[in-house]
Every structure is written in structure tokens, then in C-alpha cells.
Amino acid sequence: MKVLVIGSGGREHALCWAIANSPLVTELFAAPGNGGIASVATLIDLKPEDIAGLVTWACDNAIDFCVPGPEAPLVAGLVDAMEAAGIACFGPSAAAAQLEGSKTFMKEVADAAGVPTAGWARFTDAQAARAHVTDQGAPIVVKADGLAAGKGVTVAMSVEEAHAAIDDALVGNVFGEAGASVVIEEFMEGEEVSFHVLVDGETVLPLATAQDHKRVGDGDTGPNTGGMGCYSPTPIVTDAVEESILETIIRPSVAEMARRGCTFRGVLFAGLMMTPSGAKLLEFNVRFGDPECQVMMARLMSDLLPALMATRSGELHHTSLRWWPKAALSVVMATEGYPASYPKDTPMSGLEAADAMEDVTVFHAGTRRDGDQWLSTGGRVLGVTALGETIEDAQTRAYEAVDRIDWPQGFCRRDIGWRAVGR
């Protein structure tokens, strides 16, 4: 089979790394990929948002199966376009991808399905939104309704901070069309968990549990990011908790999507808050999380590709996945300045030495090669991922690998996995 993976981050490197090991694959391509992905796939110079270009290239090159990574092309209708052109494609239709593309749509689905989630209200008028916040008090959460590249959520600890977030979206137009309306939610106390399932429209197949670290600084301090590290499994999700999540959140939402005529197929990623009264839905994403995908792929024993194909074709009830009993932990190395502005093309070395360690894989999220030199191309640049008998073992090994990398302009958190190790 000829397979095309779309995207350029650590998630896509992990997907390519897993798919490349499938005996079904004869050729693997990535558009546009990155420096690390080039070791397992042929890079194609096409951006994920160039849907017409990707469809044309896939047809011209007789691609058998397409695996999109990021959310924006899914929301824009990439799967619909590929399928219309006769290219089998993993992921939701544009209609189903609105679960991530619109916070309002997601909350309406959750409410209709009886899913436990935060109380909420939607606003397009800044004055009305500010009045609502003043009435509700803080802490409170302000979200741009549409896709804002992970930057549209403010957990406001004061009324003034919430007012500023509202003004950014509705007055300052900071998020463009994505911020033309905002969803304001009650603040929920607890621990966040990432819960992924494959869904073929009806059958739900849970994947390994994971817990990531969103804040940029040690001790979960500083601004939110796309993720500074992750581990799997998470001890907080026991077998009983997992079954409760499936029964109260996942299956009702999948059934409600089918009832609305926008059947969901693909990977459904539920961001959950583990509250004293049980799991509550924070948000749905319609693609693998990053860095969650990196730790999940490190633990996956089974061939990923047949599971993705079964998801697309409605045959997931025939599928099962096996996972290594080991734990996995990934430390994200980022460029100094992230998540604000940061320099590009900063040199780094020692990546091969880190990657050569037993049970360690260095996933690339923002790199390129210039001759023999590795250069950074983004904010989050590497996901140093290790397996261990326990999360503490994986943590030790991951940081040993991090310390083999020489990157003066890079930084990482030194406490990834602290909650699980503390338990």
C-alpha cells in the first residue's frame, strides 16, 4: 500500500514511525513532514491546508490510504475531498469535524447527549459577555468559538483577565473569524486527562490513556502551550473510570452525532476534567493529541494501519489493539521564548546520541537538516520519548536522553510525570 500522512509535527512523526513498521506499507509519504520524518517517509512539499493540491497529488501518485494529522484541514473538508476523488481517508467529515471546529456545536452536542460538562454561554457582543463574567465571577474560562491554533482558551483567575480575553476576541479580532464569538464556561477544578478512542460511526475502541502537561513551566506554572510533555498510562483512569467515561461521555456523544446526520468516523480525543464528582468533558478534538500521540505510539504493540483502515470502513468491531505493559513518557524540548516569540534556525546536536539509547525515540516536531546540522524551525521542536517499567523509570530514561542533546537555545520542563510519580 502507498500511504500519505499529512502534517509536520511530532504527532505526524509518531504516526509515520508507527505506520512505517506495518508490513502492509510499500511506500510512505508525508506532506510536508519535517527533518525527522524524512528518516521514515518521503517528504512532499505540500501544506496541510492545500486541499486541492493534496487531492491532486494523491490521485496522480495512486495513494491507497491517507492519514491527516492536524485539525484545520479536517474542519475544512479534507476527508470529504479525498473520498470524493476515490482516495480512502482516515478521519471525520467536515460536518463531524465541527466537534472541534466549533465550541458551540460541541457544547450543544454534549447537552443534547446528556454528557456532564461545564455550564456555558455563547456571546458575539463584548458588552454582554463582560456583563456575564461580572455576574458569574472568577475563576472562569473564555474560549474563542473556532479554531485558534491552540491559543484561543483563557483560564481567567480574575474578572479583569476574563474581560481582557473577551476584548481580544470580540473587539481586537486577535483570533480573526475564529474569535467572532466566544464561549464562556464555568471553571472546573481537578486534573486533566486525555482520552482517545477510535470510532467507525458506531463501534468505539478505546486507546491507551494519557495525561499531558499544558503549562510552560515546572509545577504547572506560566501560560498554556500545545503541551510540554506527556505520559501513558495515567493511574487516575482505572478500568472502572474508563468504563464510566465510555458510558457517560463517549458513547452518548457518538450516538448524538449519528442522530444529527453527521456520523463520526476517526479518532475522537476527549479532554476531560477529573472532578470530585467524576469525569466531565472539557472539549472534543477530532484528531490525535500531541504529545499524547507520541507516548501512545511508543506503547502500541499492534499494527496501527489496519485499525485506521477498519475505522474508516466501519469494521472496527473486528479490531483489537495490544499495548506494551510498560509506561511511556515524553519530554517536549522547545525554543527559548515559546509560547511567545522565539528565534528560528537555532543549531542543535546530540539528537542521534539520544535516539540511540535503548527504549528511547526522539520524535521531531519542528526541525530541518542543513547539511550535517540540525536546525529548529518552530516553538515545540522535539519530543524525547522513553519507555520504562514504571512512569518513574520512563521519566529517568527520558531525561537522560534530553541531557545528551546540546541545544543552547532550547529548554524543557524538568518535572514531566510529577503527578504520577508522586502517587
Among 361, 420, 338, which Cα is nearest to 37's?
Answer: 361
Same domain for 271 and 342: no
Taking 3-state DSSP, the helix, strand and coil percentages for the chain, each rounded to the nearest 5, stand at 35, 30, 35
* Domain assignment present for 172: yes
- pLDDT tens, position by position, 322-346: 999 999 999 999 999 999 999 999 9
Same domain for 349 and 416: yes
Choice among 38-47, 145-154, 310-319 with the minimum mean pLDDT: 145-154
CATH at residue 149:
3.30.1490.20
For 369, the enclosing helix (H) or strand (E) is strand 367-370
Looking at residue 419, its pLDDT comes to 86
Percent of the chain with pLDDT over 90: 91
Same domain for 197 and 181: no
* Domain assignment present for 403: yes
Same domain for 276 and 202: yes
| Residue position matching grid coordinates 506527556 | 230
* Domain assignment present for 98: no
What is the count of structural domains for the chain? 4
Instruction: Work out the pLDDT band at 85, boundaries 50, 70, 90.
Output: very high
Looking at residue 213, its pLDDT comes to 93
* Average pLDDT score over the chain: 95
- pLDDT tens, position by position, 1-46: 999 999 999 999 999 999 999 999 999 999 999 999 999 999 999 9
* Domain assignment present for 349: yes
Q: Which residues make beta-bridge pairs with 89?
A: 66
* Domain assignment present for 364: yes
- pLDDT tens, position by position, 375-401: 999 999 999 999 999 999 999 999 999
Instruction: Work out the pLDDT band at 226, boundaries 50, 70, 90.
Output: confident
Q: Are strands 367-370 and 360-364 parallel, antiparallel or unpaired?
A: unpaired
CATH at residue 335:
3.90.600.10
CATH at residue 306:
3.30.470.20
Tell me: pLDDT of 370 over 80: yes
Domain residue limits at 11: 2-89
Tell me: pLDDT of 174 over 90: no
Same domain for 211 and 313: yes
Cα three-residue angle 179-341-408, rounded to 5 degrees: 145
Instruction: Work out the pLDDT band at 224, boundaries 50, 70, 90.
Output: confident
Same domain for 313 and 336: no
Looking at residue 148, its pLDDT comes to 82
* Domain assignment present for 100: no
Instruction: Work out the pLDDT band at 421, boundaries 50, 70, 90.
Output: confident
Q: Say whether 74 sits in a helix, a strand or coil.
A: helix
* Domain assignment present for 97: no
Same domain for 343 and 381: yes
Percent of the chain with pLDDT over 70: 100
Q: What distance in Å separates the CA atoms of residue 355 and residue 333, rounded to the nearest whole number?
A: 14
Same domain for 215 and 133: no
Same domain for 299 and 199: yes
Q: What distance in Å separates the CA atoms of residue 213 and residue 203, rounded to the nearest whole number?
A: 30
Same domain for 247 and 182: no
Query: Among 285, 318, 351, where does a domain finish?
Result: 318
* Domain assignment present for 334: yes
Choice among 84-88, 300-304, 368-372 with the minimum mean pLDDT: 368-372
Instruction: Work out the pLDDT band at 422, boundaries 50, 70, 90.
Output: confident
Q: For residue 413, count CB atoms less than 10 angstroms from its CB and return exposed for 0-12, middle for 13-18, buried for 19 or more.
A: buried
Looking at residue 354, its pLDDT comes to 97
Same domain for 390 and 339: yes
Q: What is the pTM of this model?
A: 0.95
Query: Among 127, 159, 186, where does a domain finish?
Result: 186
Cα three-residue angle 144-150-155, rounded to 5 degrees: 60
Tell me: pLDDT of 321 over 80: yes
Looking at residue 31, its pLDDT comes to 98
Query: Among 186, 204, 226, where does a domain finish?
Result: 186
Same domain for 337 and 299: no
